């Protein structure tokens, strides 16, 4: 039965990877994979001899000798445990997405356009790369890419010029998302999963991530594509549509940045702080739009009319639910493999067959093969989705909070996806917005992303000895 579950998972994983080839949204195989895997677990529970306790990160003693009812009770408890952990991530993402949509409702991101005062291509490249690096650390790399490419379309009119900028924005956004607990879904998973803390994440990854962005940008600034100036009339740039645009931008970004601070002070899960931030931003949004405060009365005609102009309702209607359902499906499917002890046993086999795995060489500050394994995980995230890779690593390794392994995984999974345009959410959305060809990106941009990834990884291996 375990073999059947693994085959189902691999087939679902393959369907997710080939999303663009088979024209099937990745949420569909993710949800099917989740439901079928857990159904097979329930149906074949009497045949399993091992069960993994995620809370204790150890196999359950004497599981094979338990009766059917006891095993089913354990299955239900485990399912509820994983659903709770997954819900923490989903609720957190829902709050962050809603705040971003509220900012966009007030056209807050148009404020960023006012910073673009130059026509020189290399200067514009640096401005957008730095903005992508900073913004992605606050509003996540996917949203930062959407915002900046939307602004780029207003400034760089020629698509053949614009796609070069878009390629470097992808690299910078993924690099910026790696060092922030709210900058990338995989980093958020590690943060919520209590594998990394905010301060240590910044300490370990800020410099490697900065180099991962700066080195490719520096090299690209000497390429012919970024020589000369662009046709850009400053008067053509649209002014913000709302008088409160700037206020909502700074309020929204500040509210998201407040979440790690709230967690540090209260030690509560991050989604609690995100809900508080959402409530504060929503309150000001309702005040600024002069709408009513009621968010729960959906029965009256008055409430229906209110929904058409309420920034909160409008923002909630724009939430990307397919992504939320995908996270639900893939995380719960990985949880099924973890619960059967498959990931735990795989990690044990890996450590037995690779003797240097996790053996530190303190004199030079490297961990031998383990570094190679984590870097290969980064390369793998360029080919397949990084979310299940990181989810699997959570079940495979048992290192303590803030162990350097978790930080290196955060960096590799976050930045490795830049090497292919399909390797990250930022790349996929840029591909859709600008119709960037896979092979064009592979020829023109991938080598820059690879250099950034290698330089950043080397910087991490050196600087981690300081902490």
Residue 460 has pLDDT above 80, yes or no: yes
Q: Which helix (H) or strand (E) holds 328?
A: helix 321-339
Q: Name the residue among 71, 92, 437 with its Cα closest to residue 262.
A: 92
Terminal CA-CA length for the chain: 45
Q: Tell me what pLDDT residue 357 has.
A: 40
Which positions ≥6 away from 115 have C-beta within 8 Å? 127, 131
Q: How confident is the model at residue 168 (pLDDT cuts 50, 70, 90)?
A: very high
C-alpha to C-alpha distance for 424 and 331, rounded to whole angstroms: 17
Tokens of 399: 């290192």
Most trustworthy range by pLDDT among 147-156, 290-299, 386-395, 447-456: 447-456
Instruction: Give the tens place of pLDDT for each residue, 404-458.
Output: 989 999 999 899 989 988 788 788 788 878 888 888 999 999 999 999 999 999 9
Q: Tell me what pLDDT residue 322 has.
A: 84
Q: Average per-residue pLDDT in the chain?
A: 82
Average pLDDT over residues 302-313: 61
In terms of pTM, does the model score above 0.85?
no
Q: How far lies 104's CA from each of 91, 240, 253, 256, 307, in Å? A: 20, 11, 12, 15, 17
C-alpha to C-alpha distance for 20 and 5, rounded to whole angstroms: 25
CA 52, 53, 59, 60 dihedral sign is: negative
C-alpha to C-alpha distance for 356 and 396, rounded to whole angstroms: 17
Alpha helices per DSSP H over 140-197: 141-155, 159-178, 185-192
C-alpha to C-alpha distance for 182 and 415, rounded to whole angstroms: 15
Most trustworthy range by pLDDT among 18-32, 48-62, 79-93, 307-321: 79-93
Instruction: Give the tens place of pLDDT for each residue, 27-49.
Output: 898 899 999 999 999 998 888 88
C-alpha to C-alpha distance for 206 and 263, rounded to whole angstroms: 20
Give residue for tokens 């909160």.
312
Q: Which residue has the higher pLDDT, 290 or 413?
A: 413
Instruction: Give the tens place of pLDDT for each residue, 171-221.
Output: 999 999 999 998 888 898 899 888 999 999 999 999 999 999 999 999 999
DSSP for 347-386? HHHHHHHSTTTT--BTTTTB-THHHHHHHHHHHHHHHS-H
Residue 228 has pLDDT above 70, yes or no: yes
CA 153, 156, 162, 166 dihedral sign is: negative
- 3-class state of residue 397 by DSSP: coil
Domain positions in the chain are 90-316
Whether residue 413 contacts residue 389, with contact meaning beta carbons closer than 8 Å, is answered with yes
Residue 143 has pLDDT above 90, yes or no: no
């Amino acid at each position: 039965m375990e073999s059947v579950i693994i085959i189902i998972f691999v087939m679902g994983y393959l369907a997710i990877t080939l999303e663009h080839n088979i024209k099937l949204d990745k949420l569909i195989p993710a949800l099917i994979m989740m439901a079928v895997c857990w159904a097979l677990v329930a149906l074949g529970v009497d045949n399993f001899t091992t069960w993994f306790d995620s809370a204790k990160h150890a196999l359950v003693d004497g599981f094979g000798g338990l009766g059917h009812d006891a095993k089913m009770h354990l299955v239900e408890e485990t399912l509820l445990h994983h659903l709770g952990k997954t819900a923490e991530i989903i609720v957190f993402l829902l709050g962050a997405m809603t705040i971003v949509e509220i900012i966009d409702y007030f056209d807050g991101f148009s404020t960023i356009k006012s910073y673009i005062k130059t026509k020189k291509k290399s200067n514009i490249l640096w401005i957008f790369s730095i903005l992508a690096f900073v913004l992605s650390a606050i509003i996540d790399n996917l949203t930062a890419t959407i915002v900046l490419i939307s602004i780029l379309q207003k400034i760089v009119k020629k698509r053949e010029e614009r796609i070069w900028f878009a390629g470097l924005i992808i690299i910078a956004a993924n690099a910026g998302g790696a060092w922030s607990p709210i900058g990338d879904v995989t980093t958020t998973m590690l943060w919520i999963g209590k594998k990394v803390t905010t301060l240590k994440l910044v300490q370990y990854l800020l410099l490697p991530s900065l180099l991962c962005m700066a080195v490719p940008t520096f090299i690209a600034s000497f390429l012919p594509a970024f020589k000369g100036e662009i046709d850009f009339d400053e008067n053509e740039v649209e002014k913000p549509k709302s008088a409160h645009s700037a206020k909502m931008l700074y309020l929204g970004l500040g509210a998201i940045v407040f979440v790690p601070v709230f967690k540090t002070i209260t030690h509560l899960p991050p989604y609690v702080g995100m809900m508080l931030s959402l409530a504060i931003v929503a309150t000001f949004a309702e005040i600024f739009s002069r709408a009513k405060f009621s968010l729960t009365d959906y029965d009256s005609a008055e409430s229906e009319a209110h929904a058409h102009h309420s920034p909160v309702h409008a923002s909630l209607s724009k939430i990307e639910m397919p992504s939320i359902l995908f996270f639900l499906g893939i995380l719960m499917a990985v949880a099924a493999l973890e619960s059967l002890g498959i990931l735990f046993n795989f990690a044990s086999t890996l450590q037995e067959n690779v003797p240097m795995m996790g053996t530190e060489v303190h004199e030079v500050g490297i961990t031998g093969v383990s570094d190679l394994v984590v870097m290969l995980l980064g390369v793998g995230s360029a080919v397949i989705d990084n979310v299940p890779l990181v989810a699997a690593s959570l079940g495979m390794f048992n290192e303590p909070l803030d162990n350097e392994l978790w930080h290196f995984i955060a960096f590799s999974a976050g930045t490795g996806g830049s090497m292919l345009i399909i390797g990250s959410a930022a790349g996929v959305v840029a591909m859709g917005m600008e119709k960037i060809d896979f092979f064009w990106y592979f020829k023109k941009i991938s080598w820059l992303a690879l250099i950034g990834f290698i330089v950043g990884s080397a910087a991490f291996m050196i600087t981690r000895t300081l902490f």
